[in-house]
Amino acid sequence: MKKIVELKNVSKSFDGELVLDHINLDIYDNEFLTLLGPSGCGKTTTLRIIGGFESADEGDVIFMGERINDVPPHKRNVNTVFQRYALFPHLNVYENVAFSLREKKVPKDEIHERVTEMIKLVALSGFEKRSVTSLSGGQQQRVAIARALVNRPKVLLLDEPLAALDLKLRKDMQQELKNIQKATGITFIFVTHDQEEALSMSDTVVVMSNGRIQQIGTPIDIYNEPVNAFVADFIGESNIVDGVMLRDRKVSFSGHVFDCVDSGFGPKEPVDVVVRPEDVDIVPEDKGMLKGVVTSVTFLGVHYEIIVDINGFKWMIQTTDFVDVDEHIGLYIEPEAIHIMKKSEYSGMFGDYSSFSMELDEIGELEQIEELAEEAAAESEPEA
């Protein structure tokens, strides 16, 4: 595939604080790429540098083979959909979508053809004369996407565009965005802190933390083969324990020696061991590789989420089998379910569910949404 955007050794600081630390990234034609990470990781700054709204302190931004560091946003073949859609409240749906084409003096017949095509693409046919202020949040987002796509950019940047929508509408729009991207063949660069959103929509996921890229890969690769404890914890749920690689395909952790499928580590090398909650089988205590006591059980409809104390370390298990609190159980883990990672700066920071609760998880998500809303309110309205 052809490269559309290249970031080469890009760094950026604000008020002396390093926000991007020598980022290198290749983005390809007709790719849906997602920049994923917690608030403050540098993902939005990366997007704004691609769009020309921020300039890099170091490094180069290459667009279709040409350096565009000094090219202003309106001269880049890139359009942006922001967190707030910045629609013109005094114009109807049709005129919002047509606005930039009228500014460029595009012939009237061509304007009508292109606007009609985009409105149909975003499933708003029949809404042409509606005031945008009368539309729902999801409909307003569709108008913003149509307005951005009507210019036929090579790249569309999307800065957390689903953050303000309710859960069901977000899920509907995730599929819609993916369909629109495939229908147009335009490269989408999407920013989110929502792991499920990134996994469900993307061809490529770029996981970021502390201004650095931690891992680039397909959603399946990112989930099944995380490179460090941060990625393993941030993408879904993970039990992450200290282990020792005894030799190829043999690892010791939690007081037991396990067969695994990993190799290439040094003899007796300390490692981080990842086991996903859904990959653990509950068995009778006397048949378990590991033994523990159940400390909590939460019914989530499709499965139970069970916390098990194993020698003071709390494991999460996701299973359709019911066990009760205080029950002593065994755990069985297949070799393919064990993933070995090199020790990193994130070792020891994640993977123990001693403080886990659904309530704490929801509070954390609400705080993140509130923080995003405050950031959006602090920004000035983008120019159309």
Out of 21-35, 263-277, 316-330, 362-376, which region has the weakest mean confidence (pLDDT)?
362-376
Answer yes or no: is pLDDT of 380 > 60: no
Q: With beta carbons less than 8 A apart as the criterion, state whether 173 and 96 touch.
A: no
Lowest mean pLDDT among 121-130, 192-201, 365-374: 365-374
**Quick one: tokens of 346?**
């994130």
Q: What percent of the chain has pLDDT over 90?
A: 74
10 neighbors 59 (Cβ within 8 angstroms): yes
Q: Which token pair is 271?
A: 């490692």
If pLDDT is split at 50, 70 and 90, which confidence band does 383 have?
very low
Query: What's the rounded mean pLDDT across residues 301-328?
Result: 95
Share of the chain above pLDDT 70, in %: 92
Pairing of strands 17-28, 3-14: antiparallel
What is residue 47's predicted lDDT score, i.e. its pLDDT?
A: 96
Confidence band of 81 (pLDDT split at 50, 70, 90): confident
Residues 6+ apart with CB under 8 A from 292: 308, 309, 310, 311, 315, 328, 329, 331
Q: What pLDDT sits at residue 384?
A: 41
The residues with which 242 forms a beta bridge, in sequence order, are 272
What pLDDT does residue 357 have? Answer: 53
- Closest to 293 (Cα-Cα) out of 332, 238, 331, 321: 331
pLDDT at 37 over 60: yes
Tens-place pLDDT, residues 93-115: 999 999 989 988 999 999 999 99
Q: Is the pLDDT of residue 382 over 50?
A: no
Is pLDDT at 339 greater than 70 in this prediction? yes
Q: Which range scores top for mean pLDDT: 88-92, 158-162, 355-359?
A: 88-92
Residues 6+ apart with CB under 8 A from 85: 140, 141, 143, 144, 161
What's the mean pLDDT when you consider all of the chain?
90
In DSSP terms, 174 is beta-bridged to none
Q: Are 8 and 50 in contact (CB under 8 A)?
A: no
- Which amino acid belongs to residue 214? Q
Three-class SS state of 349: coil
Place of tokens 């980022």: 23
Q: What is the DSSP string of 47-62?
A: HHHHHTSS--SEEEEE
Reported as a single tens digit per residue, the pLDDT across 126-176 is: 999 999 999 988 888 889 889 989 988 999 999 888 877 777 778 888 888
pLDDT surpassing 80 at residue 370: no
Split at pLDDT 50, 70, 90, the class of 373 is: low
Average pLDDT over residues 340-359: 84
d(CA 70, CA 55): 8
pLDDT of residue 142: 86
Cα 252 from Cα 232, distance rounded (Å): 19
Predicted local confidence at residue 376, as pLDDT: 55
Confidence (pLDDT) at 123: 85
Q: What is the pLDDT of residues 189-230, one digit of tens each?
A: 999 999 989 999 999 999 999 999 999 999 999 999 999 999
What confidence score (pLDDT) does residue 358 get?
A: 47
pLDDT at 318 over 50: yes
Q: Which of 38, 9, 118 is nearest to 346 (CA)?
A: 38
pLDDT, tens digit (0-9, with 9 covering 90-100), for 244-294: 999 999 999 999 999 999 999 999 999 999 999 999 999 999 999 999 999
Read off the pLDDT of residues 11-33 as tens digits, 9 standing for 90 and up: 999 999 999 999 999 999 999 99
